[in-house]
Amino acid sequence: MKKRITQTAKYWQHQFEIDDKVLQSLKQRVRDLGSPLSIDKVCLFFIRNILEKERKTIRSELQGAEPYRPDQKYAVNDKIVFPHWGFTIGKVVSVRPGYNPVDKRFDIIEVAFPKSSDTIAQLAANIKTPHKLLEKSDEDDQTEDIISISQKIYKRYKQHIRPKIEYFIKNDGSFVSFKKNCFLKELLPKIQEGLLNIVDAVIDINGKPMSVDDLIEPLELYPKGKITDASRFSINYYLHNDNRFENVGTPDLVLWYLNRLRPPQLRAPIYHLQVKKTSFNVNVLSGDLRAFLADIDDEVTPIEYTTTTSDTKTVKFTLIYPHLHAGTIPVLPAVLDILPTADSELLILNFIDGQTGETFLGWLIEETNYIFGFENWYKKYNLPVGTLITLKKTENPLELIIDFNPQRRRPEVVTVAKINNDRLTFQMERKRITAKYDELMLFSVVHPHEVERYSNRLEKQGVSLSQLMEDIFPELMQLSPHSAVHVKTLYSAVNIVKRYPPGPIFYELVTHKSFESLGDGYWFYRNM
């Protein structure tokens, strides 16, 4: 069955053009509405106009012809249109009786098709039995609502239609667009520079991202006491085109923030969180090492070696030194699951302190795997390396609760990491620990600046992971009566001076001749 031209991909891909008349009527529609239109609505507007035009053409070509129905009676000279033959028009040239044992008596009409060299077809008419052509067809029903047909066409050919409209809107001087909406430039209210300075000051004073509605209020841009879509669009449009402001919200919620309020730590990826060596041959790892690889939730470990948490509302992880030192939390695959989609390269989240209910901001830059903003929170509770931290989702996608499990402040024996004689050393001390922790990964780092200097020196000297492990392992062995070191302890200790995911550390353990497995994740070092 031949389709109408507007119901083919070929039309929307190659033939569809934006008609100036339709464009003028679109502009008039926007003027009448006085508010912006979504790009989807603009696309539907164009489709509807094209369909209406096509219907008009068909109607004028039909010149009073009726659509063919096999159950209708026809007379000589009747004009008939055949929707199933591409709306071809024919004229009845003769009528005679017909018969077959199923349909019994009916009429046979001979129809001539002038546009096809007077081809003649014989067709059934006045039949009393059911026929396929009497069933309702979606695509060729002239009476079907043009709006629903437009929607069906848009759904089917959106990938061809939308880019063309977007390109056109972008290049036509009359329209301005912001995100998925467009508006007529002439309808934008004039906003003075001074008003944008007020917006700047409002965000600065509040110190947090603000929604457009919150910004309109101080600007008093709401005629008749109501915030309109036009005023929302205008403010968004002006702020989007002013370098001072940036949208740090989600695709569904625009939130404006000031570029200059970005913490300086966001200007470049945080050095101590950079991982140079991530590749390792997983096949050489034994079963228990693979289990620990999955158990240690490290954001750099390839996702195929990790275990994903089933609870999509809460994420638990153990704090390692690089994040404690940088004031960050890792964006583990499970953390990513509870984060909203960002609308730009920066997403600002609101964190609620689970202990006090106080709030603070966290910054997530695209393509980094950490969220910055926890330095004060870690200091406030004096959290050690190894603390078990919980992140909880709230009803607001931009708000998360960060928490730990507090414990009574009684002194405990803790491994303290210090730099002594240009070496990372460990000793047992009694200290008060405020939070529940993973005892295999617990460390207290007393002089972070000395550790940083030592770490920088190692970097300059180009000390390899293997050398680093040979230095650290004997120090850790002294803490255990059996001289055994657990892989999680080794991972946590190595990360005090250099950021390494567990995979390469485990690989060194297996391939280095001096390391020997004692089972259950414990290892021994034999100085050869």
Partner 1 sequence: MRRYIKPTLRTKYHIDFDWWQKKGQNLRRYLLEHACEECYALVKSDTEIATIDWIDPGTAEVFTVDGIWHVIHNACREEPKYLDPNLPVTSLIFRLFIVNNNTPLTPVEIHHQIKNKGAELILRILSGHRVYKGICHVAPPV
Residues near partner 1, by CB under 8 A: 2, 68, 70, 82, 84-86, 88, 90, 98-103, 106, 108, 113, 115-116, 119, 121-124, 127, 131-133
- Minimum CB distance to partner 1 smaller for 99 or for 460: 99
CB-nearer residue toward partner 1: 90 or 521: 90
Which of 14, 105 has the CB closer to partner 1? Answer: 105
Taking the complex as a whole, the smallest distance from the CB of residue 67 to partner 1 amounts, in Å, to 12
Q: How far is the CB of 81 from partner 1 (least distance, A)?
A: 12
Residue ranges in 172-272 assigned as alpha helix (H): 193-206, 212-219, 229-240
- Least distance (Å) between residue 262 CB and partner 1: 57
Q: CA end-to-end span of the chain, whole Å? A: 84
CB of 117 to partner 1, least distance (A): 9
Q: How far is the CB of 73 from partner 1 (least distance, A)?
A: 14
The residue among 110 and 242 lying less far from partner 1, judged by its C-beta, is 110
CB of 60 to partner 1, least distance (A): 20
User: Least distance (Å) from partner 1 to the CB of residue 83?
Assistant: 12
* CA gap 475, 471 in Å, rounded: 7
Q: How many helices (H) and strands (E) does the chain have?
A: 15, 24
Residues 6+ apart with CB under 8 A from 505: 465, 469, 487, 490, 491, 494
Whose Cβ is closer to partner 1: residue 17's or residue 141's? 141
CB of 108 to partner 1, least distance (A): 5
Rounded to an integer, what distance in angstroms lies between the CA atom of residue 450 and that of residue 345? 34
Please give the Cα distance from 46 to 17 (Å, whole number).
10
> For residues 526 and 485, what is the distance between their CA atoms, to the nearest angstrom?
12
Query: What strands, in cross-sheet order, belong to the sheet with 522-525?
Result: 485-486, 522-525, 515-519
CB neighbour list of residue 450: distance below 8 Å, 6 or more residues apart: 418, 419
The contacts of residue 48 (CB under 8 Å, 6+ apart) are: 146, 147, 150
Token reading at 291: 């289990």
Residue closer to partner 1 by CB (options 141, 516) is 141
For partner 1, give the closer residue by CB, 95 or 294: 95
Q: 141 or 311, CB closer to partner 1?
A: 141
Q: Under a CB-based contact definition with an 8 Å cutoff, are residues 84 and 133 in contact?
A: yes
Cβ-based burial of 109 (10 A; exposed 0-12, middle 13-18, buried ≥19)? buried
CA dist 321 and 444 (Å) reads 9
